[in-house]
Amino acid sequence: MKQSYSLWIYICRKMLHLLLVEDHAADVLLVREALRQCSVAADVVIAYDGEDAINRMNRPGFKADFILLDLNLPKVTGFQILEQFKGKAGTPVVILTSSDNPEDRTRALGLGAIAYFTKPFGFDAWKRTICCIVKQLSPSATGASPVA
């Protein structure tokens, strides 16, 4: 019994904890499948709108290795989420959005996002993008070392 408990603790430490804030179910599936194909053990919590994301982030004990945030969300936008949490130390936020507007990129990074990605076309591009993000932010989840 003790050995299986120790294995569970080891697995949980290696597992990536991700808050995915995305209102399109198809994009949620693409992220999940990309994580699977990148061999990433992940606990993915999904918020389908900005209000749900804020509620989850404000819960006591909220912990994620990083947040993958769409900007165009119902109820509360990604920008409003960033504004609310601007300046608070904690979980890194990566933008993954359909907007390729340079002003959106500048604004999101100015509000504290650590990276900005435009949603790619085709599954191979999704997989490369998600694998890149995970390797940069959580090398232990893939067994890789961080890229400089």
Model pLDDT for residues 21-69, shown as the tens digit of each residue: 999 999 999 999 999 988 888 889 999 999 999 999 888 888 888 899 9
Please give the share of the chain, as a percent, with pLDDT higher than 90. 55
Q: How many residues in total does the chain contain? A: 148
What does each C-alpha distance from 12 to 5, 15, 37, 88 come to in angstroms? 11, 5, 19, 26
**Is residue 17 classed exposed, middle or buried when 0-12, 13-18 and 19+ CB atoms within 10 A define those classes?**
middle
Rounded to two decimals, the pTM is 0.82
Q: Domain 16-139, what fold?
A: Rossmann fold (3.40.50)
Residue 17 phi, psi (nearest 5): -110, 115
The full set of domain ranges for the chain reads: 16-139
Model pLDDT for residues 101-140, shown as the tens digit of each residue: 999 999 999 999 999 999 989 999 999 999 988 888 875 5
